[in-house]
Amino acid sequence: MAAVWREGGSFAAKSTCLWGVRGGRQSHPELSCKEGDLLTELQNSGQAQLRISSFSTAPPKRCRRLKPKPAFYVLLLALLLGVAVFAYVMLEKQVELIDGEESRILPTRANTVGDFLEQYKVELAELDVVEPALDAKLADESQVIIHRAFNVAVSADFKTESYPTQPQTVSDFLAANNVELGEYDWVSPSPDHILAEGENVVINRITYRRTQVKEPVAFQTIRKEDASMNAGQSKVTQEGKAGEKTITNLITYKDGVPIAKQELSRAVTTPAVDKIMVVGTRRVISRGNQTYEYTKMYAMKASAYTHTGSNTATGTKPKAGYTVAVDPKVIPLGSRLYVDGYGYAKAEDTGGAIKGNRIDLFFDTEKECANWGVRTVRVYVLK
């Protein structure tokens, strides 16, 4: 409480204590008065008055500072701790980590995907892919996906090697791993196929080679007829000689093994020389001391007949050992014949039963006819 000096030895009440000092007065807002120095508050008509209950001219003393109570510090500490816990809870995020087929929801205060993975000691291989990127910022309920690389075996050139990869076309996969393909190589699966885990790639090296082989060309035998030579006779007028031809092939090799051959061309490099043979066409038969030249020969069934009192179909009288009856459709009438067992004859007659390869021979008597009977004989049509 403060006091204001008034004439007559009274003070007006204030909120500050008043200390008497030599030659004047002094007030201090943070000092409390000790007993003996305290100004007494008086009530007068509702107005606060003060009077000096005791006054000292001793030197002024400093008042003691007021210390805060321990409960104040406890309350302040609890408040700060609450704020810290609230901030801790608010900064923590829930992030879903999908690693292959495994999915986990993990708490974290990491700011980026990379920090989050490092927090949980998630190791990444060289070709593993993380979505979003490692430097991407994390938010609550974010999702981090790890696409693990998988191995694909490549079989080529009699060996097999494995390479890690993400899903991509066979063509891109081979190029990324410096696996070279020839122009004609076969690749399975096809180059535009997108690889998946568990698949392998097989490369067959395909090469082509042209080859040439020599083969002989056989000569032909040319037969030339010679009417001046008897049938069955022949002579060689030119010897034959084989030629040579060149055949060009295209051979297909699969991993060094031939699997197909395609003929591209063939050409005669050395022509063959034909063999020329002259053969006789003159048909002759020798009977006794006679030689007969003929044009045709038939094997016929020969019967016999004798005088009927009539002339032959050509108007001649039949003669034994000379006249024979024939089928004019086979042997024209008037043809000169030689019949084995009968001799020289002429086709002068016909008969109702003589058709096709049948011939009827004329004899003078029925006994001769009976002796002849029916036989199969060769009949030559003479030239």
Q: What's the CA gap between 147 and 97, in Å, rounded?
A: 11
Q: What is the pLDDT of residues 155-178, one digit of tens each?
A: 999 999 999 999 999 999 999 999
> What pLDDT is attached to residue 190?
96
* Average pLDDT estimate for 246-251: 97
Q: What's the CA gap between 119 and 109, in Å, rounded?
A: 9
Q: Is the pTM of this model over 0.85?
A: no
Do residues 346 and 333 lie in contact, with contact meaning Cβ atoms separated by under 8 Å? no
Q: Which residues contact 213 (CB under 8 A, 6 or more apart)?
A: 246, 247, 249
| Residue 221: closest CA among 238, 234, 233, 204 | 238
pLDDT at position 257 over 60: yes
Q: Comparing 43-57, 82-96, 157-171, which segment has the lowest mean pLDDT?
A: 43-57
Across the chain, what does the average pLDDT equal? 84
In this prediction, residue 267 has a pLDDT band, given cuts at 50, 70 and 90, of very high
Q: What is the pLDDT of residues 291-324, one digit of tens each?
A: 899 999 999 999 999 999 999 999 999 999 999 9
Q: What is the pLDDT of residues 341-377, one digit of tens each?
A: 999 999 999 999 999 999 999 999 999 999 999 999 9
Give the residue with greater pLDDT, 278 vs 63. Answer: 278
Q: ω before 132 within 30° of 0 (cis)?
A: yes
Q: What's the CA gap between 309 and 311, in Å, rounded?
A: 7
> What pLDDT is attached to residue 328?
96
∠ Cα 304 305 307 (to 5°): 155
| Residue 268: closest CA among 243, 250, 242 | 243
User: Per the CATH hierarchy, to which homologous superfamily does domain 212-277 belong?
Assistant: Resuscitation-promoting factor rpfb. (2.20.230.10)
Q: What's the CA gap between 1 and 32, in Å, rounded?
A: 8
> What pLDDT is attached to residue 65?
59
* Phi, psi (deg, nearest 5) at residue 368: -65, -35
Q: Comparing 8-12, 141-145, 199-203, 325-329, which segment has the lowest mean pLDDT?
A: 8-12
Do residues 349 and 320 lie in contact, with contact meaning Cβ atoms separated by under 8 Å? no
Q: What's the CA gap between 346 and 358, in Å, rounded?
A: 15
Q: What is the pLDDT of residues 176-194, one digit of tens each?
A: 999 999 999 999 999 999 9
In 3-state terms, what secondary structure has residue 91?
helix
Q: Strand 375-382 to strand 336-339: parallel, antiparallel, or no bridges (unpaired)?
A: antiparallel
| Residue 235: closest CA among 282, 293, 280 | 280
Q: What's the CA gap between 165 and 148, in Å, rounded?
A: 9
Give the residue with greater pLDDT, 221 vs 228. Answer: 221
Q: What's the CA gap between 23 and 8, in Å, rounded?
A: 17
pLDDT at position 94 over 70: yes
Q: What's the CA gap between 301 and 135, in Å, rounded?
A: 118
- Residues forming beta bridges with residue 22, ordered by sequence position: none
Q: What's the CA gap between 31 and 155, in Å, rounded?
A: 98
> What pLDDT is attached to residue 200?
97
> What pLDDT is attached to residue 34?
43
In this prediction, residue 68 has a pLDDT band, given cuts at 50, 70 and 90, of low
CATH 3.40.1160.10 for domain 288-382: no
